[in-house]
Protein backbone atom coordinates (compact mmCIF):
# COMPACT_ATOMS: atom_id res chain seq x y z
CA UNK A 1 0.00 0.00 0.00
CA UNK A 2 2.82 2.45 0.89
CA UNK A 3 4.50 1.88 -2.50
CA UNK A 4 1.24 2.66 -4.31
CA UNK A 5 0.76 5.83 -2.26
CA UNK A 6 4.35 6.98 -2.92
CA UNK A 7 3.95 6.41 -6.65
CA UNK A 8 0.68 8.33 -6.61
CA UNK A 9 2.37 11.25 -4.85
CA UNK A 10 4.92 11.53 -7.68
CA UNK A 11 2.23 11.53 -10.35
CA UNK A 12 0.18 14.20 -8.61
CA UNK A 13 3.23 16.41 -8.04
CA UNK A 14 4.02 16.34 -11.78
CA UNK A 15 0.43 17.19 -12.74
CA UNK A 16 0.26 20.14 -10.37
CA UNK A 17 3.64 21.55 -11.42
CA UNK A 18 3.02 21.36 -15.17
CA UNK A 19 -0.72 21.94 -15.50
CA UNK A 20 -2.19 23.59 -12.41
CA UNK A 21 -0.81 27.14 -12.47
CA UNK A 22 -1.45 28.15 -16.11
CA UNK A 23 -4.81 26.39 -16.05
CA UNK A 24 -6.01 28.52 -13.14
CA UNK A 25 -5.09 31.77 -14.91
CA UNK A 26 -7.51 30.82 -17.66
CA UNK A 27 -10.14 29.50 -15.25
CA UNK A 28 -10.39 32.77 -13.33
CA UNK A 29 -11.09 34.78 -16.49
CA UNK A 30 -13.68 32.30 -17.78
CA UNK A 31 -15.37 31.82 -14.39
CA UNK A 32 -15.94 35.52 -13.76
CA UNK A 33 -16.80 36.16 -17.40
CA UNK A 34 -19.48 33.48 -17.55
CA UNK A 35 -20.92 34.62 -14.21
CA UNK A 36 -21.24 38.18 -15.48
CA UNK A 37 -22.66 36.94 -18.79
CA UNK A 38 -25.54 35.09 -17.09
CA UNK A 39 -26.04 37.82 -14.51
CA UNK A 40 -26.66 40.38 -17.25
CA UNK A 41 -28.48 38.14 -19.74
CA UNK A 42 -30.93 36.83 -17.12
CA UNK A 43 -31.71 40.31 -15.80
CA UNK A 44 -30.03 39.77 -12.41
CA UNK A 45 -31.86 36.53 -11.74
CA UNK A 46 -29.99 36.03 -8.45
CA UNK A 47 -31.54 39.23 -7.08
CA UNK A 48 -34.83 39.37 -8.95
CA UNK A 49 -35.95 35.84 -8.08
CA UNK A 50 -34.19 35.39 -4.76
CA UNK A 51 -37.51 35.35 -2.81
CA UNK A 52 -38.78 32.64 -5.16
CA UNK A 53 -35.69 30.53 -4.45
CA UNK A 54 -36.57 30.56 -0.74
CA UNK A 55 -40.16 29.56 -1.48
CA UNK A 56 -39.11 26.76 -3.83
CA UNK A 57 -36.68 25.33 -1.27
CA UNK A 58 -39.08 25.31 1.69
CA UNK A 59 -42.40 24.57 0.01
CA UNK A 60 -41.39 22.70 -3.13
CA UNK A 61 -42.55 19.10 -3.20
CA UNK A 62 -41.71 16.08 -5.26
CA UNK A 63 -44.21 15.08 -7.92
CA UNK A 64 -42.78 11.56 -7.97
CA UNK A 65 -42.52 9.41 -4.84
CA UNK A 66 -39.51 7.54 -6.28
CA UNK A 67 -37.37 10.68 -6.64
CA UNK A 68 -35.69 13.05 -4.20
CA UNK A 69 -37.78 15.98 -2.99
CA UNK A 70 -36.53 19.48 -3.86
CA UNK A 71 -35.37 19.88 -0.26
CA UNK A 72 -33.46 16.58 -0.33
CA UNK A 73 -31.78 17.54 -3.63
CA UNK A 74 -30.91 20.91 -2.09
CA UNK A 75 -29.33 19.33 0.97
CA UNK A 76 -27.47 16.75 -1.12
CA UNK A 77 -25.94 19.63 -3.05
CA UNK A 78 -25.31 21.50 0.18
CA UNK A 79 -23.71 18.40 1.70
CA UNK A 80 -20.90 18.72 -0.80
CA UNK A 81 -20.77 22.54 -0.74
CA UNK A 82 -20.78 22.98 3.04
CA UNK A 83 -17.67 21.33 4.37
CA UNK A 84 -13.94 21.74 4.47
CA UNK A 85 -14.09 24.60 1.97
CA UNK A 86 -16.02 26.71 4.46
CA UNK A 87 -13.59 26.03 7.30
CA UNK A 88 -10.17 25.05 5.96
CA UNK A 89 -10.55 26.63 2.52
CA UNK A 90 -11.40 30.05 3.92
CA UNK A 91 -8.44 29.80 6.29
CA UNK A 92 -6.09 28.96 3.40
CA UNK A 93 -7.45 31.87 1.35
CA UNK A 94 -6.92 34.36 4.19
CA UNK A 95 -3.52 33.01 5.23
CA UNK A 96 -2.23 33.10 1.64
CA UNK A 97 -4.13 35.98 0.04
CA UNK A 98 -4.88 38.21 3.03
CA UNK A 99 -8.18 39.69 4.17
CA UNK A 100 -9.03 40.79 0.63
CA UNK A 101 -9.47 37.16 -0.41
CA UNK A 102 -12.79 37.18 1.45
CA UNK A 103 -14.12 39.92 -0.84
CA UNK A 104 -13.27 37.89 -3.94
CA UNK A 105 -15.01 34.87 -2.42
CA UNK A 106 -18.11 37.04 -2.13
CA UNK A 107 -17.78 38.19 -5.75
CA UNK A 108 -17.37 34.61 -6.95
CA UNK A 109 -20.57 33.66 -5.15
CA UNK A 110 -22.68 36.64 -6.22
CA UNK A 111 -21.93 36.37 -9.94
CA UNK A 112 -21.77 32.59 -9.68
CA UNK A 113 -25.34 32.36 -8.44
CA UNK A 114 -26.52 33.06 -11.98
CA UNK A 115 -24.22 30.34 -13.35
CA UNK A 116 -25.59 27.95 -10.73
CA UNK A 117 -29.13 28.76 -11.84
CA UNK A 118 -28.22 28.04 -15.46
CA UNK A 119 -26.45 24.73 -14.91
CA UNK A 120 -29.01 23.28 -12.51
CA UNK A 121 -31.98 24.30 -14.68
CA UNK A 122 -30.31 22.56 -17.62
CA UNK A 123 -29.67 19.47 -15.52
CA UNK A 124 -33.38 19.24 -14.66
CA UNK A 125 -34.45 19.77 -18.25
CA UNK A 126 -32.16 17.07 -19.67
CA UNK A 127 -32.45 14.50 -16.86
CA UNK A 128 -33.11 10.81 -17.56
CA UNK A 129 -35.04 8.18 -15.61
CA UNK A 130 -33.35 5.28 -13.84
CA UNK A 131 -34.85 1.77 -13.93
CA UNK A 132 -36.05 2.21 -10.33
CA UNK A 133 -38.02 5.32 -11.26
CA UNK A 134 -35.57 7.88 -9.85
CA UNK A 135 -33.74 10.46 -11.98
CA UNK A 136 -30.14 11.21 -12.81
CA UNK A 137 -28.46 13.87 -14.91
CA UNK A 138 -25.97 16.71 -14.93
CA UNK A 139 -23.54 18.35 -17.36
CA UNK A 140 -22.59 15.09 -19.05
CA UNK A 141 -26.23 14.62 -19.99
CA UNK A 142 -27.04 18.15 -21.17
CA UNK A 143 -23.78 18.29 -23.12
CA UNK A 144 -24.66 15.05 -24.92
CA UNK A 145 -28.32 15.86 -25.56
CA UNK A 146 -28.21 19.62 -25.93
CA UNK A 147 -24.88 20.09 -27.71
CA UNK A 148 -24.64 16.69 -29.41
CA UNK A 149 -21.02 16.55 -28.23
CA UNK A 150 -20.62 13.14 -26.63
CA UNK A 151 -16.84 13.42 -26.58
CA UNK A 152 -17.12 16.61 -24.52
CA UNK A 153 -19.56 14.92 -22.16
CA UNK A 154 -17.18 12.03 -21.62
CA UNK A 155 -14.35 14.49 -20.90
CA UNK A 156 -16.50 16.27 -18.32
CA UNK A 157 -17.61 13.02 -16.70
CA UNK A 158 -14.00 11.88 -16.33
CA UNK A 159 -12.99 15.27 -14.89
CA UNK A 160 -15.85 15.14 -12.38
CA UNK A 161 -15.00 11.59 -11.34
CA UNK A 162 -11.40 12.60 -10.64
CA UNK A 163 -12.47 15.83 -8.91
CA UNK A 164 -15.26 14.61 -6.64
CA UNK A 165 -14.74 10.90 -6.48
CA UNK A 166 -11.02 11.12 -5.82
CA UNK A 167 -9.48 14.58 -5.16
CA UNK A 168 -12.21 16.27 -3.11
CA UNK A 169 -12.74 13.20 -0.96
CA UNK A 170 -9.01 13.12 -0.26
CA UNK A 171 -9.26 16.77 0.85
CA UNK A 172 -12.17 15.96 3.16
CA UNK A 173 -10.41 13.08 4.89
CA UNK A 174 -7.19 15.13 5.13
CA UNK A 175 -9.07 17.88 6.93
CA UNK A 176 -10.66 15.41 9.35
CA UNK A 177 -7.21 14.05 10.18
CA UNK A 178 -5.79 17.53 10.85
CA UNK A 179 -8.73 18.59 13.03
CA UNK A 180 -8.85 15.41 15.10
CA UNK A 181 -5.07 15.32 15.48
CA UNK A 182 -5.08 18.88 16.84
CA UNK A 183 -7.96 18.17 19.21
CA UNK A 184 -7.56 14.57 20.29
CA UNK A 185 -4.18 13.38 18.88
CA UNK A 186 -5.82 10.65 16.84
CA UNK A 187 -3.58 8.50 14.64
CA UNK A 188 -4.05 9.46 10.93
CA UNK A 189 -3.91 5.86 9.77
CA UNK A 190 -6.63 4.75 12.18
CA UNK A 191 -8.75 7.76 11.21
CA UNK A 192 -8.28 6.90 7.54
CA UNK A 193 -9.33 3.29 8.05
CA UNK A 194 -12.39 4.35 10.06
CA UNK A 195 -13.45 6.79 7.36
CA UNK A 196 -13.10 4.09 4.71
CA UNK A 197 -15.36 1.74 6.69
CA UNK A 198 -18.02 4.37 7.47
CA UNK A 199 -17.99 5.80 3.93
CA UNK A 200 -18.31 2.32 2.48
CA UNK A 201 -21.39 1.61 4.57
CA UNK A 202 -23.08 4.78 3.27
CA UNK A 203 -22.12 4.80 -0.41
CA UNK A 204 -23.25 1.23 -0.94
CA UNK A 205 -26.71 2.35 0.23
CA UNK A 206 -27.69 4.12 -3.01
CA UNK A 207 -28.42 7.68 -4.08
CA UNK A 208 -31.76 7.98 -2.29
CA UNK A 209 -30.13 6.92 0.97
CA UNK A 210 -27.51 9.60 0.41
CA UNK A 211 -30.23 12.24 0.12
CA UNK A 212 -31.87 11.05 3.33
CA UNK A 213 -28.62 11.07 5.31
CA UNK A 214 -27.65 14.51 3.98
CA UNK A 215 -31.08 15.96 4.74
CA UNK A 216 -30.61 14.93 8.35
CA UNK A 217 -27.00 16.04 8.82
CA UNK A 218 -26.70 19.34 6.95
CA UNK A 219 -29.24 21.45 8.89
CA UNK A 220 -27.75 20.31 12.20
CA UNK A 221 -24.19 21.05 11.07
CA UNK A 222 -25.02 24.46 9.70
CA UNK A 223 -27.07 25.45 12.74
CA UNK A 224 -24.39 24.52 15.28
CA UNK A 225 -21.62 26.27 13.38
CA UNK A 226 -23.66 29.39 12.65
CA UNK A 227 -24.73 29.73 16.29
CA UNK A 228 -21.10 29.62 17.39
CA UNK A 229 -20.13 32.23 14.76
CA UNK A 230 -23.07 34.47 15.69
CA UNK A 231 -22.07 34.42 19.35
CA UNK A 232 -18.50 35.39 18.45
CA UNK A 233 -19.59 38.21 16.15
CA UNK A 234 -21.95 39.59 18.78
CA UNK A 235 -19.04 39.57 21.23
CA UNK A 236 -17.09 41.80 18.80
CA UNK A 237 -19.96 43.65 17.10
CA UNK A 238 -18.17 47.00 17.38
CA UNK A 239 -15.30 45.72 15.19
CA UNK A 240 -17.43 44.28 12.35
CA UNK A 241 -17.90 47.49 10.27
CA UNK A 242 -14.20 48.29 10.35
CA UNK A 243 -13.35 44.71 9.46
CA UNK A 244 -15.63 44.75 6.42
CA UNK A 245 -14.03 48.02 5.26
CA UNK A 246 -10.61 46.42 5.70
CA UNK A 247 -11.65 43.39 3.63
CA UNK A 248 -12.86 45.57 0.75
CA UNK A 249 -9.78 47.81 0.86
CA UNK A 250 -7.39 44.85 0.90
CA UNK A 251 -9.19 43.25 -2.04
CA UNK A 252 -7.81 45.94 -4.35
CA UNK A 253 -4.25 45.89 -3.03
CA UNK A 254 -2.28 44.68 -6.04
CA UNK A 255 1.15 44.94 -4.45
CA UNK A 256 1.17 41.20 -3.80
CA UNK A 257 0.77 39.76 -7.28
CA UNK A 258 -0.27 36.19 -7.95
CA UNK A 259 2.25 35.42 -10.69
CA UNK A 260 1.56 33.32 -13.78
CA UNK A 261 0.62 34.50 -17.27
CA UNK A 262 -1.79 37.10 -15.87
CA UNK A 263 0.36 38.06 -12.91
CA UNK A 264 0.09 41.77 -13.67
CA UNK A 265 -3.71 41.56 -13.38
CA UNK A 266 -4.41 39.14 -10.55
CA UNK A 267 -3.43 39.78 -6.94
CA UNK A 268 -2.94 36.98 -4.45
CA UNK A 269 -6.18 38.03 -2.80
CA UNK A 270 -8.09 37.61 -6.06
CA UNK A 271 -6.44 34.30 -6.98
CA UNK A 272 -6.93 32.63 -3.61
CA UNK A 273 -10.35 34.15 -2.99
CA UNK A 274 -11.67 32.85 -6.30
CA UNK A 275 -9.94 29.46 -5.94
CA UNK A 276 -11.31 28.79 -2.49
CA UNK A 277 -14.66 30.39 -3.34
CA UNK A 278 -15.15 27.99 -6.25
CA UNK A 279 -14.02 25.03 -4.15
CA UNK A 280 -16.57 25.95 -1.51
CA UNK A 281 -19.70 26.97 -3.44
CA UNK A 282 -19.03 25.13 -6.74
CA UNK A 283 -21.00 27.71 -8.73
CA UNK A 284 -20.52 26.91 -12.41
CA UNK A 285 -18.31 23.93 -11.69
CA UNK A 286 -20.91 21.41 -12.84
CA UNK A 287 -21.21 19.44 -9.61
CA UNK A 288 -24.47 20.58 -7.99
CA UNK A 289 -26.46 19.92 -11.21
CA UNK A 290 -25.96 16.19 -10.58
CA UNK A 291 -28.01 16.54 -7.40
CA UNK A 292 -30.43 18.98 -9.01
CA UNK A 293 -31.26 16.47 -11.74
CA UNK A 294 -32.27 13.83 -9.19
CA UNK A 295 -35.21 15.88 -7.91
CA UNK A 296 -38.73 15.61 -9.26
CA UNK A 297 -40.15 19.10 -9.70
CA UNK A 298 -42.83 20.88 -11.72
CA UNK A 299 -40.46 23.17 -13.59
CA UNK A 300 -36.71 22.92 -14.42
CA UNK A 301 -36.15 26.50 -13.26
CA UNK A 302 -37.38 25.52 -9.79
CA UNK A 303 -34.25 23.49 -9.13
CA UNK A 304 -32.15 26.23 -10.72
CA UNK A 305 -33.45 28.63 -8.09
CA UNK A 306 -32.92 26.14 -5.26
CA UNK A 307 -29.30 25.46 -6.18
CA UNK A 308 -28.73 29.20 -6.67
CA UNK A 309 -29.80 29.62 -3.05
CA UNK A 310 -27.26 26.98 -2.05
CA UNK A 311 -24.42 29.13 -3.39
CA UNK A 312 -25.63 32.09 -1.34
CA UNK A 313 -25.93 30.10 1.88
CA UNK A 314 -22.56 28.46 1.40
CA UNK A 315 -20.40 31.52 0.74
CA UNK A 316 -22.20 34.69 1.80
CA UNK A 317 -23.35 33.09 5.06
CA UNK A 318 -21.15 30.16 6.11
CA UNK A 319 -17.81 31.20 4.59
CA UNK A 320 -18.25 34.72 5.95
CA UNK A 321 -18.77 33.28 9.42
CA UNK A 322 -15.42 31.49 9.25
CA UNK A 323 -13.71 34.61 7.91
CA UNK A 324 -14.99 36.74 10.79
CA UNK A 325 -14.01 34.09 13.33
CA UNK A 326 -10.43 34.17 12.01
CA UNK A 327 -10.06 37.90 11.43
CA UNK A 328 -11.51 38.81 14.83
CA UNK A 329 -8.87 36.68 16.58
CA UNK A 330 -5.12 36.93 17.17
CA UNK A 331 -4.53 33.77 15.11
CA UNK A 332 -4.48 35.68 11.81
CA UNK A 333 -0.84 36.34 10.89
CA UNK A 334 0.45 33.60 13.19
CA UNK A 335 1.76 31.50 10.31
CA UNK A 336 -0.96 28.88 10.73
CA UNK A 337 -3.17 27.86 7.81
CA UNK A 338 -5.97 25.45 6.91
CA UNK A 339 -7.93 23.82 9.74
CA UNK A 340 -5.26 24.67 12.31
CA UNK A 341 -5.82 28.41 11.76
CA UNK A 342 -9.57 28.15 12.29
CA UNK A 343 -9.13 26.01 15.37
CA UNK A 344 -6.62 28.51 16.81
CA UNK A 345 -9.08 31.33 16.14
CA UNK A 346 -11.87 29.50 17.96
CA UNK A 347 -9.50 28.80 20.85
CA UNK A 348 -8.88 32.55 21.12
CA UNK A 349 -12.61 33.27 21.29
CA UNK A 350 -14.00 30.45 23.44
CA UNK A 351 -10.99 28.65 24.88
CA UNK A 352 -9.92 25.02 24.45
CA UNK A 353 -13.54 24.07 23.89
CA UNK A 354 -13.33 25.70 20.43
CA UNK A 355 -10.66 23.26 19.25
CA UNK A 356 -12.77 20.25 20.24
CA UNK A 357 -15.98 21.83 18.98
CA UNK A 358 -14.54 22.41 15.52
CA UNK A 359 -13.08 18.92 15.33
CA UNK A 360 -16.53 17.48 16.05
CA UNK A 361 -18.31 19.79 13.63
CA UNK A 362 -15.73 19.09 10.92
CA UNK A 363 -16.29 15.38 11.29
CA UNK A 364 -19.92 15.99 10.36
CA UNK A 365 -19.19 18.55 7.63
CA UNK A 366 -16.47 16.53 5.92
CA UNK A 367 -18.20 13.19 6.25
CA UNK A 368 -21.41 14.49 4.67
CA UNK A 369 -19.29 16.05 1.93
CA UNK A 370 -17.74 12.67 1.17
CA UNK A 371 -21.28 11.32 0.76
CA UNK A 372 -22.33 14.19 -1.52
CA UNK A 373 -19.13 13.99 -3.55
CA UNK A 374 -19.63 10.31 -4.14
CA UNK A 375 -23.20 10.86 -5.34
CA UNK A 376 -22.00 13.30 -8.00
CA UNK A 377 -19.25 10.99 -9.20
CA UNK A 378 -21.43 7.88 -9.32
CA UNK A 379 -23.92 9.61 -11.60
CA UNK A 380 -21.14 10.25 -14.11
CA UNK A 381 -19.71 6.75 -13.81
CA UNK A 382 -23.14 5.48 -14.77
CA UNK A 383 -23.19 7.92 -17.69
CA UNK A 384 -19.97 6.42 -19.06
CA UNK A 385 -20.73 2.78 -18.22
CA UNK A 386 -23.88 1.90 -16.31
CA UNK A 387 -22.71 -1.53 -15.25
CA UNK A 388 -22.73 -2.92 -11.72
CA UNK A 389 -19.16 -4.24 -11.81
CA UNK A 390 -17.85 -0.86 -12.99
CA UNK A 391 -19.74 0.98 -10.24
CA UNK A 392 -18.40 -1.39 -7.58
CA UNK A 393 -14.83 -0.96 -8.84
CA UNK A 394 -15.30 2.82 -8.77
CA UNK A 395 -16.55 2.69 -5.19
CA UNK A 396 -13.42 0.82 -4.13
CA UNK A 397 -11.18 3.42 -5.79
CA UNK A 398 -13.10 6.20 -4.00
CA UNK A 399 -12.43 4.51 -0.68
CA UNK A 400 -8.72 4.27 -1.58
CA UNK A 401 -8.56 8.05 -2.08
CA UNK A 402 -10.36 8.62 1.21
CA UNK A 403 -7.48 6.78 2.84
CA UNK A 404 -4.89 8.47 0.60
CA UNK A 405 -6.01 11.90 1.78
CA UNK A 406 -5.88 10.84 5.42
CA UNK A 407 -2.21 9.82 5.32
CA UNK A 408 -0.75 12.54 3.06
CA UNK A 409 0.26 16.19 3.50
CA UNK A 410 -2.39 18.84 2.96
CA UNK A 411 -0.58 20.65 0.14
CA UNK A 412 -0.50 17.48 -2.00
CA UNK A 413 -4.23 16.82 -1.86
CA UNK A 414 -5.28 20.50 -2.10
CA UNK A 415 -3.07 21.17 -5.15
CA UNK A 416 -4.37 18.04 -6.87
CA UNK A 417 -7.95 19.12 -6.12
CA UNK A 418 -7.36 22.61 -7.52
CA UNK A 419 -5.99 21.25 -10.80
CA UNK A 420 -8.75 18.77 -11.61
CA UNK A 421 -11.39 21.23 -10.37
CA UNK A 422 -10.23 23.79 -12.94
CA UNK A 423 -10.49 21.26 -15.79
CA UNK A 424 -13.99 20.29 -14.77
CA UNK A 425 -15.16 23.89 -14.37
CA UNK A 426 -13.83 25.00 -17.77
CA UNK A 427 -15.66 22.25 -19.63
CA UNK A 428 -18.94 22.98 -17.87
CA UNK A 429 -18.70 26.78 -18.23
CA UNK A 430 -18.18 26.47 -21.98
CA UNK A 431 -21.17 24.12 -22.22
CA UNK A 432 -23.65 26.32 -20.33
CA UNK A 433 -22.69 29.37 -22.41
CA UNK A 434 -23.40 27.40 -25.58
CA UNK A 435 -26.75 26.34 -24.08
CA UNK A 436 -27.62 29.84 -22.87
CA UNK A 437 -30.64 30.20 -25.24
CA UNK A 438 -32.21 27.16 -23.56
CA UNK A 439 -31.67 28.72 -20.13
CA UNK A 440 -33.29 31.95 -21.30
CA UNK A 441 -36.33 30.03 -22.61
CA UNK A 442 -36.79 28.26 -19.27
CA UNK A 443 -36.45 31.50 -17.32
CA UNK A 444 -38.89 33.29 -19.65
CA UNK A 445 -41.46 30.52 -19.23
CA UNK A 446 -41.11 30.44 -15.43
CA UNK A 447 -41.19 34.24 -15.04
CA UNK A 448 -44.14 34.52 -17.41
CA UNK A 449 -46.21 32.14 -15.30
CA UNK A 450 -45.32 34.09 -12.16
CA UNK A 451 -46.48 37.31 -13.81
CA UNK A 452 -49.71 35.56 -14.78
CA UNK A 453 -50.38 34.87 -11.11
CA UNK A 454 -49.40 31.19 -11.11
CA UNK A 455 -47.63 30.64 -7.77
CA UNK A 456 -46.22 27.24 -8.75
CA UNK A 457 -45.16 27.34 -12.41
CA UNK A 458 -45.49 24.08 -14.31
CA UNK A 459 -43.38 23.17 -17.33
CA UNK A 460 -45.29 21.94 -20.39
CA UNK A 461 -42.82 20.51 -22.88
CA UNK A 462 -45.36 20.68 -25.72
CA UNK A 463 -45.31 24.47 -25.55
CA UNK A 464 -41.58 24.34 -26.40
CA UNK A 465 -41.14 22.22 -29.55
CA UNK A 466 -37.74 23.78 -30.24
CA UNK A 467 -36.47 22.34 -26.94
CA UNK A 468 -37.47 18.87 -28.12
CA UNK A 469 -35.39 19.54 -31.22
CA UNK A 470 -32.51 20.49 -28.92
CA UNK A 471 -32.47 17.04 -27.35
CA UNK A 472 -34.98 17.21 -24.48
CA UNK A 473 -36.80 13.90 -23.96
CA UNK A 474 -40.51 14.82 -23.93
CA UNK A 475 -41.43 11.57 -22.14
CA UNK A 476 -39.61 12.75 -18.98
CA UNK A 477 -41.93 15.75 -18.72
CA UNK A 478 -45.01 13.95 -20.03
CA UNK A 479 -44.61 11.58 -17.07
CA UNK A 480 -44.82 14.56 -14.73
CA UNK A 481 -48.33 14.32 -13.17
CA UNK A 482 -48.57 18.08 -12.86
CA UNK A 483 -47.66 18.52 -16.51
CA UNK A 484 -50.26 15.95 -17.50
CA UNK A 485 -52.93 18.03 -15.79
CA UNK A 486 -51.90 21.05 -17.81
CA UNK A 487 -51.79 19.05 -21.04
CA UNK A 488 -55.21 17.55 -20.28
CA UNK A 489 -56.63 21.02 -19.66
CA UNK A 490 -55.20 22.20 -22.99
CA UNK A 491 -56.66 19.18 -24.78
CA UNK A 492 -60.05 19.74 -23.14
CA UNK A 493 -60.04 23.38 -24.13
CA UNK A 494 -59.15 22.46 -27.70
CA UNK A 495 -61.92 19.83 -27.82
CA UNK A 496 -64.49 22.30 -26.49
CA UNK A 497 -63.40 24.87 -29.05
CA UNK A 498 -63.78 22.38 -31.93
CA UNK A 499 -67.22 21.32 -30.69
CA UNK A 500 -68.32 24.96 -30.53
CA UNK A 501 -67.10 25.55 -34.10
CA UNK A 502 -69.09 22.54 -35.32
CA UNK A 503 -72.20 23.83 -33.60
CA UNK A 504 -71.71 27.28 -35.11
CA UNK A 505 -71.27 25.75 -38.58
CA UNK A 506 -74.51 23.83 -38.22
Sequence-ordered alpha helix ranges (H) in 126-267: 139-147, 150-160, 169-184, 188-203, 207-235, 240-251
Which pLDDT score, from 0 to 100, does residue 494 have? 36
Q: 454-505: per-residue pLDDT in tens? A: 988 999 999 999 999 999 999 999 865 544 444 344 344 334 433 443 344 3
Q: 305-357: per-residue pLDDT in tens? A: 988 998 998 899 889 999 999 999 999 989 999 999 999 999 999 999 999 99
CATH of 1-457, one of 1.20.1740, 1.10.8, 3.40.50, 1.10.3470: 1.20.1740
- Cβ atoms of residues 163 and 421 within 8 Å: yes
Q: Which helix (H) or strand (E) holds 328?
A: none
Q: How far apart are CA 134 and CA 140, in angstroms?
A: 17
Which pLDDT score, from 0 to 100, does residue 126 have? 96
Kindly list the domain boundaries of the chain, sorted by start residue: 1-457, 460-500
Nearest to 473 by CA among 64, 124, 128, 68: 128
Which pLDDT score, from 0 to 100, does residue 368 have? 79
DSSP codes joined into one string, 257-268: B--STTTTT-BH
Which pLDDT score, from 0 to 100, does residue 489 have? 44
- Cβ atoms of residues 384 and 157 within 8 Å: yes
- Strands (E) in 270-372, as ranges, are none
**Residue 67 φ/ψ, nearest 5 degrees:** -110, 165
63-66: long-range pairs with CB below 8 Å, 24+: 63/296, 63/297, 63/298, 63/480, 63/481, 63/482, 64/133, 64/135, 64/296, 64/479, 64/480, 64/481, 66/132, 66/133, 66/134, 66/296
Residue 293 DSSP code: T
Which pLDDT score, from 0 to 100, does residue 377 have? 87
Q: Which helix (H) or strand (E) holds 136?
A: strand 135-136
Q: How far apart are CA 344 and CA 151, in angstroms?
A: 47
Compute the residue count for the chain: 506
Which pLDDT score, from 0 to 100, does residue 213 have? 62
Determine how many CB atoms are found less than 10 A away from the CB of residue 54.
14
- Digit-by-digit pLDDT tens for the chain (506 residues) are 777 887 778 888 788 777 877 888 889 889 999 999 999 999 999 999 999 998 887 776 555 555 566 666 666 656 555 678 889 999 999 999 999 999 999 999 999 999 999 999 999 999 998 888 888 889 999 999 999 999 999 999 999 999 999 999 999 999 999 999 999 999 999 999 999 988 888 888 655 565 566 556 666 777 788 889 999 999 999 999 999 999 999 998 766 555 555 554 567 888 899 999 998 888 999 988 887 888 888 899 998 998 899 899 889 988 999 999 999 999 998 999 999 999 999 999 999 999 999 998 888 878 878 887 887 788 789 889 889 999 999 999 999 999 999 999 998 999 999 999 999 999 999 999 999 999 999 999 999 999 999 988 999 999 999 999 999 999 999 865 544 444 344 344 334 433 443 344 33
Q: 366-406: per-residue pLDDT in tens? A: 887 888 788 778 878 988 988 999 999 999 999 999 999 99
Burial class of residue 7 in the structure, from the number of CB atoms within 10 Å of its CB (0-12 exposed, 13-18 middle, 19+ buried): exposed
- Cβ atoms of residues 316 and 108 within 8 Å: no
Amino acid sequence: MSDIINHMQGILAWIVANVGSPLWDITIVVLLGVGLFFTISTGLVQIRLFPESLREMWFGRSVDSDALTPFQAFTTGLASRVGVGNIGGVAIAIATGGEGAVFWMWVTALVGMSSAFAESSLAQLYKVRNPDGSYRGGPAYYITKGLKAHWMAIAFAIALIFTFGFAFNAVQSNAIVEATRNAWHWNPQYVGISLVVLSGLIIFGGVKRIGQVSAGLVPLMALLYLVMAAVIMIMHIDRIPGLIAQIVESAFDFHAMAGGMFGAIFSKAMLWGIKRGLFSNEAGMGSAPNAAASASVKHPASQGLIQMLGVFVDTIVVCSCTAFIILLSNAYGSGLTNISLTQAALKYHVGEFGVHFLAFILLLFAFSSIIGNYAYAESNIRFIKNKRSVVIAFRLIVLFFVYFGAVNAANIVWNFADTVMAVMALINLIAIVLLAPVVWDLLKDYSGQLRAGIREPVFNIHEHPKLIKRGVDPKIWEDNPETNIVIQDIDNDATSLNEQRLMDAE
